[in-house]
Amino acid sequence: MSPSGPFHGLDEAALRRLSPSGAVAEYAKGERIIAEGENGDSLYVVLSGTAKAYVADEAGNEVVLSTIPAGDYFGEVTLDGSPRSASVAALEPSSCFVIPRADFEGLIEGNPAFARDLIRKLAGRVRTLTERVFDLALRDVYERFAKFAEERAVDYGELRIVPDRFTQREIAARIGGSREMVSRILKDLSMGGYVRVEDKRVVLLKKLPQKW
Protein backbone atom coordinates (compact mmCIF):
# COMPACT_ATOMS: atom_id res chain seq x y z
CA MET A 1 0.00 0.00 0.00
CA SER A 2 1.21 3.47 -0.74
CA PRO A 3 2.02 6.02 2.02
CA SER A 4 -1.35 7.64 1.29
CA GLY A 5 -3.28 4.54 2.40
CA PRO A 6 -5.99 4.87 5.08
CA PHE A 7 -3.89 3.59 7.98
CA HIS A 8 -0.54 5.17 7.15
CA GLY A 9 0.72 7.33 10.01
CA LEU A 10 -2.01 6.26 12.44
CA ASP A 11 -0.92 5.21 15.92
CA GLU A 12 -2.68 2.83 18.28
CA ALA A 13 -4.88 5.57 19.77
CA ALA A 14 -6.10 6.66 16.34
CA LEU A 15 -6.82 3.08 15.33
CA ARG A 16 -8.77 2.50 18.54
CA ARG A 17 -11.04 5.39 17.59
CA LEU A 18 -11.72 3.64 14.28
CA SER A 19 -12.05 0.21 15.91
CA PRO A 20 -12.97 0.36 19.63
CA SER A 21 -12.89 -3.44 19.86
CA GLY A 22 -9.44 -3.73 18.30
CA ALA A 23 -6.30 -4.81 20.12
CA VAL A 24 -2.52 -4.76 19.64
CA ALA A 25 -0.63 -8.04 19.14
CA GLU A 26 3.15 -8.45 19.19
CA TYR A 27 5.06 -10.98 17.07
CA ALA A 28 8.65 -12.21 17.17
CA LYS A 29 10.78 -12.53 14.03
CA GLY A 30 9.63 -15.59 12.10
CA GLU A 31 6.44 -16.00 14.12
CA ARG A 32 3.37 -16.92 12.10
CA ILE A 33 0.54 -14.42 12.43
CA ILE A 34 -2.15 -16.21 10.43
CA ALA A 35 -2.14 -19.65 8.83
CA GLU A 36 -3.32 -20.67 5.38
CA GLY A 37 -6.58 -22.63 5.58
CA GLU A 38 -7.57 -21.50 9.07
CA ASN A 39 -10.83 -19.73 9.80
CA GLY A 40 -10.37 -16.08 10.65
CA ASP A 41 -12.34 -12.88 10.33
CA SER A 42 -9.97 -10.13 11.54
CA LEU A 43 -8.11 -7.43 9.67
CA TYR A 44 -4.48 -6.77 10.67
CA VAL A 45 -2.84 -3.35 10.42
CA VAL A 46 0.97 -3.45 10.67
CA LEU A 47 2.03 -0.84 13.24
CA SER A 48 5.74 -1.65 13.12
CA GLY A 49 8.00 -4.17 11.43
CA THR A 50 7.43 -6.09 8.22
CA ALA A 51 5.57 -9.29 7.38
CA LYS A 52 5.39 -11.67 4.44
CA ALA A 53 2.39 -13.39 2.87
CA TYR A 54 3.22 -16.85 1.55
CA VAL A 55 1.97 -20.30 0.66
CA ALA A 56 3.83 -23.50 1.50
CA ASP A 57 3.64 -27.22 0.76
CA GLU A 58 3.85 -30.07 3.26
CA ALA A 59 7.64 -30.22 2.87
CA GLY A 60 7.95 -26.60 3.97
CA ASN A 61 8.82 -25.18 0.55
CA GLU A 62 7.52 -21.62 0.35
CA VAL A 63 6.46 -19.18 -2.33
CA VAL A 64 6.35 -15.60 -1.04
CA LEU A 65 3.39 -13.68 -2.47
CA SER A 66 4.15 -10.23 -1.04
CA THR A 67 5.83 -8.31 1.75
CA ILE A 68 3.72 -6.12 4.01
CA PRO A 69 5.34 -2.97 5.49
CA ALA A 70 4.23 -0.81 8.42
CA GLY A 71 1.06 1.12 7.58
CA ASP A 72 -0.25 -1.64 5.32
CA TYR A 73 -2.90 -4.19 6.25
CA PHE A 74 -3.79 -7.81 5.49
CA GLY A 75 -6.55 -10.31 6.15
CA GLU A 76 -9.13 -8.54 3.99
CA VAL A 77 -9.71 -11.59 1.78
CA THR A 78 -11.69 -13.29 4.58
CA LEU A 79 -14.46 -10.74 4.03
CA ASP A 80 -16.29 -13.47 2.08
CA GLY A 81 -16.22 -15.83 5.09
CA SER A 82 -13.81 -18.32 3.47
CA PRO A 83 -10.68 -19.73 5.17
CA ARG A 84 -7.40 -17.84 4.94
CA SER A 85 -5.92 -18.09 1.44
CA ALA A 86 -2.29 -17.64 2.57
CA SER A 87 -0.12 -17.57 5.66
CA VAL A 88 1.48 -14.43 7.04
CA ALA A 89 4.61 -14.36 9.22
CA ALA A 90 6.73 -11.58 10.73
CA LEU A 91 10.03 -10.92 8.95
CA GLU A 92 11.26 -8.98 11.99
CA PRO A 93 9.84 -8.16 15.44
CA SER A 94 6.47 -6.63 14.54
CA SER A 95 3.27 -5.35 16.07
CA CYS A 96 -0.20 -5.34 14.54
CA PHE A 97 -3.49 -3.73 15.42
CA VAL A 98 -6.13 -6.43 15.04
CA ILE A 99 -9.56 -5.22 13.90
CA PRO A 100 -12.44 -7.69 14.46
CA ARG A 101 -14.92 -8.39 11.68
CA ALA A 102 -17.73 -6.22 13.07
CA ASP A 103 -15.48 -3.14 13.15
CA PHE A 104 -14.00 -4.11 9.76
CA GLU A 105 -17.46 -4.15 8.19
CA GLY A 106 -18.28 -0.87 9.90
CA LEU A 107 -15.21 0.72 8.30
CA ILE A 108 -16.34 -0.43 4.85
CA GLU A 109 -19.85 0.94 5.36
CA GLY A 110 -18.93 4.19 7.10
CA ASN A 111 -15.50 5.14 5.74
CA PRO A 112 -15.52 5.75 1.95
CA ALA A 113 -11.74 6.35 1.89
CA PHE A 114 -11.12 2.92 3.38
CA ALA A 115 -13.65 1.26 1.06
CA ARG A 116 -11.97 2.80 -1.98
CA ASP A 117 -8.52 1.73 -0.79
CA LEU A 118 -9.80 -1.79 -0.15
CA ILE A 119 -11.13 -2.01 -3.72
CA ARG A 120 -7.79 -0.75 -5.09
CA LYS A 121 -5.92 -3.22 -2.90
CA LEU A 122 -7.99 -6.18 -4.06
CA ALA A 123 -7.60 -5.11 -7.71
CA GLY A 124 -3.84 -4.83 -7.17
CA ARG A 125 -3.80 -8.29 -5.62
CA VAL A 126 -5.49 -9.76 -8.70
CA ARG A 127 -2.98 -7.98 -10.97
CA THR A 128 -0.02 -9.17 -8.89
CA LEU A 129 -1.23 -12.77 -8.85
CA THR A 130 -1.83 -12.65 -12.61
CA GLU A 131 1.77 -11.51 -13.12
CA ARG A 132 2.92 -14.24 -10.73
CA VAL A 133 1.09 -16.93 -12.70
CA PHE A 134 2.64 -15.59 -15.92
CA ASP A 135 6.13 -15.73 -14.40
CA LEU A 136 5.71 -19.26 -13.07
CA ALA A 137 4.13 -20.58 -16.26
CA LEU A 138 6.17 -18.84 -18.95
CA ARG A 139 9.54 -17.88 -17.42
CA ASP A 140 12.17 -20.35 -16.30
CA VAL A 141 13.86 -20.09 -12.89
CA TYR A 142 16.84 -18.13 -14.22
CA GLU A 143 14.57 -15.55 -15.90
CA ARG A 144 12.65 -15.16 -12.64
CA PHE A 145 15.92 -14.72 -10.74
CA ALA A 146 17.14 -12.08 -13.19
CA LYS A 147 13.85 -10.18 -12.90
CA PHE A 148 14.01 -10.41 -9.08
CA ALA A 149 17.57 -9.05 -8.99
CA GLU A 150 17.12 -6.32 -11.59
CA GLU A 151 13.90 -4.98 -10.05
CA ARG A 152 15.38 -4.74 -6.55
CA ALA A 153 18.88 -3.52 -7.39
CA VAL A 154 19.82 0.08 -6.58
CA ASP A 155 22.76 2.08 -7.90
CA TYR A 156 25.79 2.17 -5.62
CA GLY A 157 28.65 3.95 -7.34
CA GLU A 158 29.48 1.99 -10.47
CA LEU A 159 27.72 -1.09 -9.14
CA ARG A 160 24.14 -2.13 -8.61
CA ILE A 161 23.30 -3.90 -5.36
CA VAL A 162 20.23 -5.71 -4.07
CA PRO A 163 20.17 -3.96 -0.67
CA ASP A 164 18.23 -6.58 1.29
CA ARG A 165 20.06 -9.56 2.74
CA PHE A 166 18.47 -12.73 1.34
CA THR A 167 19.51 -16.31 1.94
CA GLN A 168 19.37 -18.61 -1.08
CA ARG A 169 16.25 -20.21 0.40
CA GLU A 170 14.58 -16.81 0.73
CA ILE A 171 15.39 -15.94 -2.88
CA ALA A 172 13.99 -19.30 -3.96
CA ALA A 173 10.76 -18.59 -2.07
CA ARG A 174 10.37 -15.25 -3.85
CA ILE A 175 10.96 -16.57 -7.36
CA GLY A 176 9.24 -19.94 -7.08
CA GLY A 177 12.35 -22.12 -7.41
CA SER A 178 14.49 -24.41 -5.29
CA ARG A 179 17.44 -23.39 -3.12
CA GLU A 180 19.64 -25.75 -5.12
CA MET A 181 18.72 -24.05 -8.41
CA VAL A 182 19.37 -20.59 -6.94
CA SER A 183 22.76 -21.81 -5.70
CA ARG A 184 23.65 -23.06 -9.21
CA ILE A 185 22.56 -19.80 -10.83
CA LEU A 186 24.59 -17.67 -8.41
CA LYS A 187 27.62 -19.91 -8.81
CA ASP A 188 27.49 -19.76 -12.63
CA LEU A 189 26.88 -15.99 -12.69
CA SER A 190 29.76 -15.48 -10.25
CA MET A 191 32.10 -17.56 -12.43
CA GLY A 192 31.00 -15.50 -15.46
CA GLY A 193 31.78 -12.23 -13.68
CA TYR A 194 28.16 -11.07 -13.60
CA VAL A 195 27.56 -11.07 -9.84
CA ARG A 196 29.17 -11.56 -6.50
CA VAL A 197 27.57 -12.13 -3.12
CA GLU A 198 28.73 -10.03 -0.19
CA ASP A 199 27.20 -10.52 3.27
CA LYS A 200 24.06 -12.08 1.72
CA ARG A 201 23.71 -9.15 -0.69
CA VAL A 202 23.74 -9.77 -4.45
CA VAL A 203 26.04 -7.32 -6.24
CA LEU A 204 25.40 -6.92 -9.99
CA LEU A 205 28.75 -6.34 -11.70
CA LYS A 206 27.25 -6.04 -15.19
CA LYS A 207 23.94 -6.52 -16.94
CA LEU A 208 22.66 -10.05 -16.53
CA PRO A 209 22.29 -12.15 -19.68
CA GLN A 210 18.76 -12.67 -20.95
CA LYS A 211 19.15 -16.44 -20.97
CA TRP A 212 21.17 -18.87 -18.88
- Domain encompassing residue 200: 139-204
User: Residue 210 domain-assigned?
Assistant: no
Shared domain for 80 and 148, answered yes or no, is no
User: Residue 118 domain-assigned?
Assistant: yes
User: Residue 4 domain-assigned?
Assistant: no
**131: Cβ–Cβ under 8 A, 6 or more apart, which residues?**
none
Shared domain for 35 and 110, answered yes or no, is yes
Higher pLDDT, 73 or 157: 73
Shared domain for 48 and 100, answered yes or no, is yes
Residue-level pLDDT at 131 = 84
* Predicted confidence band of residue 14 (pLDDT cuts 50, 70, 90): confident
Contact 41, 93 (CB under 8 A): no
Shared domain for 116 and 194, answered yes or no, is no
User: Residue 126 domain-assigned?
Assistant: yes
- Whichever domain contains 52, its CATH number is 2.60.120.10
Sign for the CA dihedral angle at 117, 122, 127, 129 comes to positive
User: Residue 56 domain-assigned?
Assistant: yes
User: Residue 176 domain-assigned?
Assistant: yes
Average pLDDT value for the chain = 88
* Predicted confidence band of residue 159 (pLDDT cuts 50, 70, 90): confident
Shared domain for 43 and 110, answered yes or no, is yes
Alpha helices in 37-140 (DSSP H): 101-110, 112-138
Shared domain for 112 and 174, answered yes or no, is no
| Count of domains forming the chain | 2
Shared domain for 129 and 146, answered yes or no, is no
Residue-level pLDDT at 210 = 85
For 80, 106, 131, 195, the CA distances from 41, given in Å and listed in that order, are 9, 13, 27, 45
Residue-level pLDDT at 4 = 54
User: Residue 33 domain-assigned?
Assistant: yes
